Chains A and B, each alone.
Chain A
Amino acid sequence: MEKIAIVGLGQTKYKGSREETFDELVFEAVNLALSDAGAEIGDIDNVVTVSNDFWDGRTISSMAVTEASGAWDKDISTVEGDGIFGTLYGMMRILSGSFNSTLVVAHVKGSEGEMNLITNAMFDPIYQRALGIDATSSAALQARCYMEKTGATEEDFARVSVKNHKNAFGNPYSQLPMEISVEDVMKSRKIAEPLKLFDCSPISDGAAAVILSNKQGLKRFKKDPVWILGVGHCSDSYTLGYRDLTNTRALKNAAQRAFTMASIKDPMKELHVAELYDAYSYMELLWYEGLGLAADGKGFELIRSGATEMTGDLPVNPSGGVLSAHPVLVAGLARLIESTIQIRGEAGKRQVKGASKALAQGINGPCGQAHGIIVLGS
């Protein structure tokens, strides 16, 4: 594959509610990315926007940010899904031979809609939507399946929340840094059992952007490139109930493709940082298994071992993860941005020393139906 690099990045601070409109957030993220890259909008050949019509409350929501993303005279296209998938599409547009650089920008204002109603609408309208199921209640069903299959406990889920909220103190963009104990998580308000308030990610507003370039385009940008070494994505079946919710085969497939491309044989040893999509605490344990960081059914042992703490062999979610800020669609891009920052060595207090290989994950669909994995290196 022709090599593609990340040469610029920008993200707004994630908050429960931001006073800016969503196009203002996009404008901010894009300008931060341009300034980070030492570039101007004219250096961008094409734009991929990432948005969702239900979250924005309008159809063709992508087009509403044409101006804010600097795309009015450019080729613009959109991805309705997580920002990792937007990045993949942005790469494809360079690989098509038509462009040397792509700007990928994602936005969401979770504060303006109603998460439970919006995510209820992702379910089948004939058989499931009328039951009122949504992202949180379906995740709760998956969490219990995981406990039943593996023997993981609610305390194990809580350990993920404790770790990630603590990590968030090092990340100025994060929304919810918290010093909490396993007991605090266990005592937090019940949401959908076994999930409690601190097992769930917050509602967030924000935008994020990355600039991708091939070798030919590099001369336009001042920032040292961070290279995309491997990429993979894969989807499982859609209907809740048809698939085994503890089977991570889609993630395994996506990760394997990315690892093969990046020549990674043992991810636990070879990766220095992993930024995972922990929309709910238990997910991080399940994703450990899908990524091969832990054997099937043993993800909870990895969190207990401390290996994924900041001081462990493979820090997971030094940014604080999705539990500490969940701008839907933007969140995968935020994982990619954190991974890039870590490789650049610009992560300040949360810097993982000597990080030169990192992994970012994005998910789409209920209970992690689809996964996108990007491996980065210096």
Chain B
Amino acid sequence: MSSTEIKNIYYEGRIKVPYNWYVGEVGSRFLVNLRDNKEIWGIRCPGCKKVYVPPAKTCWECFIPNEEWVKLSDTGTIMSFTVVHYRTQAMPKRDPIIYGLIKIDGADGSFLHILGDIDPRDLAVGLKVKAVFADARSGTILDIKYFAPVYK
């Protein structure tokens, strides 16, 4: 067989390694509160008073441990959003997929999650949203199903 007759071979592989990540003391407390109480908790830096959600064990700017747990509201404000027009295996099965950066009331910074129960045409920065919890909760970030608009 001459080399011109050889067709390239592609070898299909997949890396699939199970992990069992310890979410940490702070992460456990946050996720247990989502799962058991449908509550969103943040943690406050004793230095700059910034409230982190999801909670972080240390304030990266002050570089000191965060100490004070704060029960936050399950409402917030959309700071940014994107309607995604493609699908990947990593995405939850929803249509449409809309990501939002949400400033949870009482917290600083934004919380990344999914937006739901909304017509994409109604999306706007500044829109008030409220967490909708999943019926079956297992201590993951998807115990919040999504954030939906609060219409007054």
Contact = CB atoms under 8 A, between A and B. Distances in A.
Same complex: yes
Given A132-B91, A192-B82, A242-B109, A237 B101 contact: no
A137 B82 contact: yes
Contacts of B114: 131
Contacts of A144: 80-82, 125
A126 B82 contact: no
B60 interface: yes
Contacts of A134: 88, 90
A239 interface: yes
Interface string A127-142: 1111111100110111
Interface in B25-71: 27, 31, 52, 54, 56, 60-61
B80 A191 contact: no
A126 B27 contact: yes
A127 B88 contact: no
Contacts of A19: 8
A191 B85 contact: yes
Interface string A186-198: 0001111111000
B109 A241 contact: yes
Given A116-B88, A131-B141, A241 B99 contact: no
B105 to A, nearest CB: 15
B84 interface: yes
B141 A126 contact: yes
Contacts of A127: 27, 54, 112, 141
Interface in A79-123: 114, 116-117, 120
A243 interface: yes
B132 interface: no
A141 B88 contact: no
Contacts of A191: 84-86
Contacts, number: 107
Interface in A176-213: 189-195
A245 B79 CA distance: 11
A117 B89 CA distance: 7
A355 interface: no
B15 interface: yes
A189 B109 contact: no
B140 to A, nearest CB: 6
B85 A192 contact: yes
B151 interface: no
A190 B101 CA distance: 20
Contacts of A114: 88
Contacts of A57: 13, 15
Instruction: Give the one of B19, B60, B61 with max A CB within 10 A.
Output: B60
Contact of B109 (A142, A145, A193, A243): A243
Nearest to B86: A191
A139 to B, nearest CB: 9
Contact of B101 (A129, A141, A195): A141
A125 B21 contact: yes
A278 B90 CA distance: 25
B120 to A, nearest CB: 8
Contacts of A142: 80
B125 A189 contact: no
5 contacts: A141-B99, A148-B125, A237-B61, A241-B112, A245-B101
Interface of B: 8, 13, 15, 19, 21, 23, 27, 31, 52, 54, 56, 60-61, 79-86, 88-92, 97, 99, 101, 109-114, 125, 140-142
Q: Which 3 A-B pairs have the closest CB atoms?
A: A132-B91, A140-B82, A241-B110
Interface of A: 19, 57, 114, 116-117, 120, 125-134, 137-138, 140-142, 144-145, 148, 189-195, 237, 239-243, 245
Given A128-B141, A130-B140, A144-B82, 7 more contacts: A126-B54, A132-B97, A133-B99, A144-B81, A191-B84, A194-B82, A241-B112
